[in-house]
Structure 1
Amino acid sequence: MEKYYAVIDIGSNTMRLVVYSQVNTGRLHEVENVKAVARLRNYLDAKSNLTDEGIVQMLGVLDSFKEVLNIYSLEELACVATATIRQANNNTFIQKKVKQQIGWEMRILSEKEEAYYGYLSVVNSTSIEEGITVDIGGGSTEVTYFKDRVIQESHSFPFGALTLKQFFSDNKPETALGKLQTFLLEQFSILDWLKEREVPLIGIGGSARNMAQIDQSLKDYPLAGLHQYKMNDSDIAKILHYLSPLCEEELQKVDGLSTDRADTIVPAVAVFHALYQTTQADCFVLSRKGLRDGVFYEKSTQNLKDHLYPNVLQDSIRELIHEYSLDQTQIEFIQFLTKKLFNGLKERRLGSHTQRDWELLERACSVYNLGNYIDSESSAQHTFYLLANRTIDGLMHIDRLRLALIASFKSKNTFKQFVGPFEEWFLKEEKEKLSVLGALLKFSYCLDATKRQVVKDLDIEMNDRELTITLYCDKDFHPEQYQTNKQKKHLEKALHKDINLQFILG
């Protein structure tokens, strides 16, 4: 029986329902995501009360969310509200109306809590050790600074994508953008802990997602997925200069931009650009995980120090092993053999291998040939596509691609085929190294062709002409001997060495 959890996020611009299922590893997977553009910010009156019309709008959306949830047997539900409800003078009355008509307890997050949940979602879904997070809502902007994955500072600015639209109401686009940028730089400069950090700037929320989608569209980006997508200062500046002269009708047609964000995307991108400049960030990273995820990360990590998963990437690999029914015993055995081979080649200076290369290869041992789960005949193709195009928490996109190229290795030709669309991503030397690592991994799996863990140890000797690998076995080794001799040519080509295999029983 799957366990389901739901969170309702009542924002200033949008309201969203997300349903998660919990898998065996304890991590949460999104199974339902429903969005409604309520623009509650527009219903705050002169006295900062949410009008009756706004309350009716909000309750109507919540009622529709409740209908969706009727098909799930929920373990837990959280209903949280952010800036607009927080700033509404009649928010206590609003909470009572939600309880009376919907039956839910609505929790109004403080500025500090809103910032904290954004931070918590980032450190539990990426491997970034130090960074600055930014989450632009409709009525507020939250920023945090974390180091060694622990939050150090947080702040909530009283402006968001909807409120910043005012800069464009009475001015020409160029004038408005200049005034907005000056305002933002002044605002960000009041926090000394933001200045010149030179760490990743991590964007959270719908505006950040839309900016990343536009960037991918402009670049004809060849990989799927947004989480952990990387941009730089010039990418953001290019998008800002591309979008700012466009009228709303033209913005509606921009690839990657949601129609409901067409009127707020320019102020949002201006925030990212100004913050990038203030922090002197070394890159911009998009996090698809945000406040809603943070709410449940807090609950699912309540027994862990600082509410942090110890190793995000390790958990992600474990999920893949479970999802594709991979054999953990075989994986550990292959890691043992591969490390012996890797170290042996490194000692004999066959390739300029590093500790980072081993970490990548060890990871690939866990997911080698997982495409066999779909179809054994085209396993390499499925392995490459699945690993290259699915989100793996803890891996940036280029690292995901490296993993896919090694774990899908079948031959030099298929490697060239897979790496073809990404030629400009790698130097020639790195492509050669990835090919060697892939061939080495394929060779290791041949040594366990029958999954009986026949080979218990190995030695490597080398002369000018060939590499001799002696394999010590405790069972009949003939199936492994046949398969390895058949496939060793791939490693020979990669190493530019003949390989002589000697199997010894006893």
Structure 2
Amino acid sequence: MLKKKWAVIDIGSNTIRLVIYSKGQGGSYKEEENIKTVARLNQYLNPEYELQKEGINLLINILQGFKEILHFHQVIEIHCVATATVRQAKNQREIQVLVKEQTGFDMKVLSETEEAYFGFYAVSRSTPIDTGITIDMGGGSTEITFFQDRKLIHYHSFPFGVVSLKKQFIHNDPITSQERKNLADFIQASFAQLPWLKNLQVPVIAIGGSARNIAQIDQNFKKYPLAGIHQYVMCYSDLQKIQMYLAQLTIEQRERVEGLSKDRADIIVPALEVFVGLCEYSQSYSFMFSKKGLRDGISMSANEMSEEVLTTNQIIHDSVVELLIDYDVDIKHARHRARLAESLLDEIGTDYHSDNQAALRNFVNKGAQLYYLGQYIDDDSSSQHTFYLLANQSINGLLHKDRLKLAYIASYKNKTLLKQYYLPFTEWFTKTEMEEIRLAGAIAKLACALDASKRGIVEEMHLKKRTADTFELVISCKGNPFVEQYETEKHIRQLEKALEKTITLKFFQNK
């Protein structure tokens, strides 16, 4: 059965990008191809705001190349959109006609409202932030939104971007102190037009290539031990350090900075000035990068049955289902394990109380569903593969620390191996947090043992207190639990050690 495929062509002021998506078995979508070319169309706008022939020819040449790629991949559904430069061009209609004649693409010019909305839409459906500011800084425009409870409240599009700001304010290499002051003053004056943005004190979520490069630079500075930059969080002082560091370098020196793309070395300084200025104006000191932006928003909006507001739990749930499908895990079996794990946590609850029992319950549920996911790669080293896979891939709705926590729980084998995984992250978790992770991992492990034959025969469990340090776990089953009993007896010791209690087992078969 052929996968459903579609494509988004994003004609920006700095870059032109083709992304091909496909729909998975669980209904989620994935990037199949992501092809970028740097065009800098903005520089072909003349003083009368007409896109010159040279720029139009460059655009058409790139689109003809994309057409060949789309034909090879047999993609028919194509969303071709243009943003600031084409939107600002007075000969916009002429460009659309030429594109249609020479490529066959119906190029839609997005309004400022649409461009802002699609960026917000992608962020609201792929991150755990309920209330925040988005900023999507392109080559010729900058879209800013404020959303609350995942609903768009305000938006604005500024007619400047990294390319146009560089052209207008930066004429020396490196930038002079006077140029920086002029640029900073202009940015603050621009933000002052938006009274709703002032002192919001909510997270800033940045979209686009400049923000991605800044996140990569920060990760290289810190020797960040996890892969992936989606939902990567920096603080305001991190931004300032990178701003000060890059501003003193020449373009040639910036080209050698790890994490900074060579084609952005000349435009990263104005991007940083805008990001820092936004944090200052809004009094926002948490800066997150979102890999999901305009193109994803267009893709989601075009292919989802409903545009209802999603909760963080729904976003994470969908991400977990996608992982289960990707790694060929039986979903029915995974959900039964999750129910068993929650039941165990509830039974333990009176003797172990977390500061956030609801959050712990969610982690136990997801950890049990994804437990030993790495068996897909190799059964003998399931724990190691599970930890690596979950720790090093983006999971929508989970910040990096929470993703790591889930990886610990789903890969839990014993305390020794947990300590080994913990070594690169000793500053990330407190001792209490690690004890909670150990308990959650032991519960997930035992839940897996209680459904070892994948028949779902365990129906109920009750943990009965015998003495202060001794318990009996009574397990009722609807079939012969000989496999489950053997596996549970083998793995109960991990839960005993985590609780510092002795637990005896009693299995019986319901008639």
Q: After TM superposition, give the deviation of residue 278 of structure 1 in Å.
A: 1.2
CA pair 352-299 structure 1, distance change in 2 beyond 3 A: closer
Q: Aligned-residue CA RMSD in angstroms?
A: 1.7
One-letter code of the match for 2:98?
K
Contact 1:301 1:309 in 2 (8 A): no
Q: After TM superposition, give the deviation of residue 179 of structure 1 in Å.
A: 2.2
CA pair 309-18 structure 1, distance change in 2 beyond 3 A: farther
Partner of 2:58: 57
* 1:450 is aligned to 2:453: yes
Distance 2:422 2:137 in 1: 36
* 1:416 is aligned to 2:416: no
Q: After TM superposition, give the deviation of residue 498 of structure 1 in Å.
A: 1.2
Match 2:232 to one of 226, 229, 234? 229
Q: After TM superposition, give the deviation of residue 245 of structure 1 in Å.
A: 0.5
Partner of 1:198: 201
| Residues 462-481 of structure 1 aligned to structure 2 (within 5 Å) | 462=465, 463-481=467-485
Match 1:504 to one of 496, 504, 508? 508
Match 1:397 to one of 394, 397, 400? 400
Partner of 1:169: 171
**Secondary structure of the residue that 1:207 maps to in structure 2?**
helix
Q: After TM superposition, give the deviation of residue 320 of structure 1 in Å.
A: 0.9
Partner of 1:488: 492
Contact 1:26 1:300 in 2 (8 A): no
CA pair 310-343 structure 1, distance change in 2 beyond 3 A: closer
CA pair 443-310 structure 1, distance change in 2 beyond 3 A: closer
Partner of 1:144: 145
Q: After TM superposition, give the deviation of residue 190 of structure 1 in Å.
A: 1.6
Distance 2:193 2:94 in 1: 35
Partner of 1:70: 71
The farther-off stretch of 359-368 and 346-355 is 346-355
TM-score normalised by L of structure 2 = 0.96
Distance 1:304 1:270 in 2: 34
Give every structure 1 segment of 4 or more consecutive aligned residues whose post-TM-superposition deviation is greater than 6 Å. Answer: 306-310
Q: After TM superposition, give the deviation of residue 223 of structure 1 in Å.
A: 0.6
CA pair 73-321 structure 1, distance change in 2 beyond 3 A: same
Distance 2:330 2:148 in 1: 36
Contact 1:236 1:269 in 2 (8 A): yes
| Residues 92-107 of structure 1 aligned to structure 2 (within 5 Å) | 92-107=93-108
Partner of 1:35: 36
Partner of 1:154: 155
CA pair 170-373 structure 1, distance change in 2 beyond 3 A: closer
Partner of 2:390: 387
User: What is the CA deviation profile of residues 170-208 of structure 1, one whole-angstrom value per residue up to 9, with x for unaligned ones?
Assistant: 595222222212221221122111111111100000001
Partner of 1:243: 246
* 1:189 is aligned to 2:198: no
Distance 2:458 2:395 in 1: 32
One-letter code of the match for 1:49?
E
Partner of 1:9: 10
User: What is the CA deviation profile of residues 193-237 of structure 1, one whole-angstrom value per residue up to 9, with x for unaligned ones?
Assistant: 111111110000000101101101111111111111111100100
Partner of 2:218: 215
Q: After TM superposition, give the deviation of residue 452 of structure 1 in Å.
A: 1.9
The farther-off stretch of 36-45 and 336-345 is 336-345
One-letter code of the match for 1:127?
P
Distance 1:365 1:257 in 2: 39
* 1:280 is aligned to 2:283: yes
**Secondary structure of the residue that 1:470 maps to in structure 2?**
strand
Contact 2:13 2:140 in 1 (8 A): yes
The farther-off stretch of 7-16 and 324-333 is 324-333
**Secondary structure of the residue that 1:305 maps to in structure 2?**
coil
The farther-off stretch of 297-306 and 236-245 is 297-306
Contact 2:236 2:276 in 1 (8 A): yes
